[in-house]
Structure 1
Amino acid sequence: MVFDPSVKLNSGNSIPVLGLGVYLTPKDVADSIVQKALDLGYRHVDTATYYKNEQDVADAIGAWLKKNPTVKREEIFYTTKVFDTDHGYEATKKLIATSLEKAKAIDYIDLFLVHSPQSDYEKRHGTWLALQEAVESGKVKNIGVSNYGIKHLKELLAYPDLKIKPAVNQIELHPWLSREELVKYLKDEGIAVEAYSPLARGQRINDPALEEFAKKYGKTNAQILIAWSLAKGFIPLPKTVTVSRLRTNLESLNFKLSDEDIKKLDSLDEYGVTGWDPTVYPLDNEKIGGK
C-alpha cells in the first residue's frame, strides 16, 4: 500500500511530501535500502552527485519498476544535485549529461537542484541557464536550489534571462532550526520547502521535549520530528539505512500534532545548525561571514 501523498510544485508537477534521503549511503547499501523503501510505499528518493551513489539509486529504482510493472515511472520522484565544483554553464551542462547517463535506467530526472550557492554570480548564473535548458530538453522535469538564503534567491530571481523559477529550496530544518524568515520568503514566492536533516542528525533525538510528545502520542521521537516538519508544510527527507526505521518514518504521515504542540516545538528554535550552513554564504560584494 502506498501512503505517500503529493503536493503541487510551481512547475505544475507533483512531488511526494515525504522522501528518503541517501546522503553518503554506501553503494552496496543504496540498492537494497531504496528497493525496500519503494516496497514500503516511498515514492521519493533524494540523492546528489556529491553523495557518490546516483547510479546505484537510479539503478535500484529501475530494477524495482521492472519487478513492479503496475507502478509507472511517473509515480517515482528522483532528485539529484549540482555540487559547487561543477558550477558554471559548461561545467553544469557536462554534469547534467553525466547524471542523465547514470539515470538511464529511469529515463529522466524529476528534480535537479543547485546544491549550494558557494561559488560566484557568473557561475551560479551559468548553472541556472544550463538547468533551464535541461528542462527545455524534457530530460529534467523540475529545477531548484538547496542551501540558498534570501539574498541568493533574490539574486536568482533577478536574472535577466530567468525563464523558470526554482520549484524547491532544500534546507536544513527541524524544531531547533526553523528559519522562519527564510521559510516565509519561500512560501510567499511559491517555492516549495524541502527539509533535510529533519531529525537533526540524531543530535537531539533524546531531547526531553521529544520524549514528552512521543509518550503523549504513542510515537517515536523521530516520528514526532517528521510530523512537525509535515505540519509546517515542509517536505522532509529523513535518511536511514535501517529497514525498521524506513517503516516508522513513513508512518509519520498517519497522525498529526495539535496546534498547541506544534507551537511548543517551535519554541525550541535556537538556530541550531547541525552540519554546514551555506545559506549565509556571501554574495560577491560581501565579506566572508556577511549576512
Structure 2
Amino acid sequence: MSTPQDTPTRTAPGDLPAPGLPPVPAVTLAHGTAGGARPVAMPQLGFGVFQVPDDETAAAVTAALDAGYRSIDTAAVYGNEAGVGRALAASGLARDELFVTTKLWNADQGYDSTLRAFDTSLERVGLDLVDLYLIHWPAPAGDRYLDTWRALRTLLAGGRVRAIGVSNFQPAHLRRLVEDGGVVPAVNQVELHPGLQQRELRAVHAEFGITTEAWSPLAQGALLGEPALAAIARRHGRTPAQVVLRWHLQLGTVVIPKSVTPARVRENIDVFGFALDDADMAAIAALDRGLRTGPDPDVFN
C-alpha cells in the first residue's frame, strides 16, 4: 500500500497528456519553495537516454515526445546532452511543457568545477536553465560532494535551475548533505526495481521529504520472466514491463524507462489505465533480492 509520503499529487504543470492516454501525474518536489523559488512539478514518468549514442538521441527523444513523454533525463557522462537539445529545439513544444534533467559527472565535483560543468551542460542542451540538476554519484573516495552540493545550492539560489538533487546517494550521504546546509535534495535518483526495492533508503527519503526516482526501473529486463510478474500481467491484459512500471507509480516513485524501440516507448507510457491490487503489490514485494545491475554507490568513484 502507498503511504501518504509515497502518493504523488496531481498539479496542473505536470499533468501532461499523452495522445489517447490518461495524463501523466506529477509529483511536487519538496524544496520547490527554497530561496523564494516557486514549487516545481515533475512528471512521474519520464524518458531516459542512458547508453543512447548522441547521433541516435534526437530520434529517440523525438519518438518519446511524440508518444507523450515530457520529462527527459540525460547526463554529462552520457555524451548525448546535445542530442537531447536538438530534439527539444525541433519539437515545437513550449519550454514550460518540458521537464529536463541532467547530471554532474564525478570528475567535475568540487565547487568551482561544478559551476563550470553546469555551464557546459547548459550550452550542450541548448537551454537557459534545466529543471533538475543532480550530482550523479557521491564518489566517496574523493569526498567532494559537500562542496559540490554547495555549488548546486548556488545555482538554485541564482535561478539557473528549478530544483537540485542527487543520484545514487546512500542514507549516510544524504544525512551529511542535510546537516551541512539545511537544503534537502529534491530528488535522489537510484537503482530501484522489484529485485532491489531499497526499503531502507526509501524510508530515509520519506523522513526528509525526498522524491525517489528510479533508474533501471525494469532491471534491464532481468526480472521480466518472473512467473509472478507474468501471472499479474495476464490478469490485467498487460505486459510484465507495464506491470513493473505500474508498481513503481503506485509506490510513488518517479520512473524513467529507456528504450529506442518506438513500440516499446509507447508501451512504457501506457500504464495509467489499470491498477494493481494489494495482492499484486505483495507478490511484487516478495521479489526483492538485493539485485544490483549497476555499481555499488559506497565504492564507485
> Is 2:172 aligned against 1:172?
no
- Alignment size in residue pairs: 274
For 1:6, the equivalent position in structure 2 comes to: 26
Partners of 2:299 and 2:184 in 1: CA distance: 21
1:84–1:119 Cα contact (<8 Å) kept: no
1:19–1:44 Cα contact (<8 Å) kept: yes
The structure 2 residue matched to 1:143, chosen from 140, 164, 173, is: 164
1:167–1:192 Cα contact (<8 Å) kept: yes
> Is 2:230 aligned against 1:211?
yes
1:254 aligns to what SS in structure 2?
coil
Partners of 2:203 and 2:106 in 1: CA distance: 26
Partners of 1:103 and 1:137 in 2: CA distance: 19
Partners of 2:269 and 2:290 in 1: CA distance: 27
2:184–2:208 Cα contact (<8 Å) kept: no
- State the one-letter code of the partner of 2:44: V
Partners of 2:85 and 2:207 in 1: CA distance: 33
Structure 2 gap ranges (5+): 1-16, 33-38
2:214 aligns to what SS in structure 1?
strand
The structure 2 residue matched to 1:60, chosen from 78, 87, 94, is: 87
1:87–1:119 Cα contact (<8 Å) kept: no
For 1:25, the equivalent position in structure 2 comes to: 52
Partners of 1:78 and 1:141 in 2: CA distance: 10
1:163 is displaced (CA, Å) by 5.4
Deviation per residue, 1:12-59 (Å, 9 max, x gap): 200000011100201121101111211111010111011100111022
1:253 is displaced (CA, Å) by 2.2
For 1:158, the equivalent position in structure 2 comes to: 179
1:120 is displaced (CA, Å) by 4.9
For 1:285, the equivalent position in structure 2 comes to: none
Partners of 1:202 and 1:63 in 2: CA distance: 31
For 2:35, the equivalent position in structure 1 comes to: none
2:192–2:216 Cα contact (<8 Å) kept: yes
For 2:294, the equivalent position in structure 1 comes to: 275
The structure 2 residue matched to 1:195, chosen from 194, 197, 214, is: 214
The structure 1 residue matched to 2:111, chosen from 89, 111, 123, is: 89
- State the one-letter code of the partner of 1:230: L
> Is 2:126 aligned against 1:100?
no
The structure 1 residue matched to 2:136, chosen from 110, 115, 118, is: 115
Partners of 1:94 and 1:119 in 2: CA distance: 21
Aligned-residue sequence identity (percent) comes to 40
Deviation per residue, 1:158-177 (Å, 9 max, x gap): 11xx2532000001111111
Structural RMSD (CA): 1.6
Partners of 1:9 and 1:83 in 2: CA distance: 23
Query: Normalised by the size of structure 2, how large is the TM-score?
Result: 0.87
1:124 is displaced (CA, Å) by 0.8
For 1:34, the equivalent position in structure 2 comes to: 61
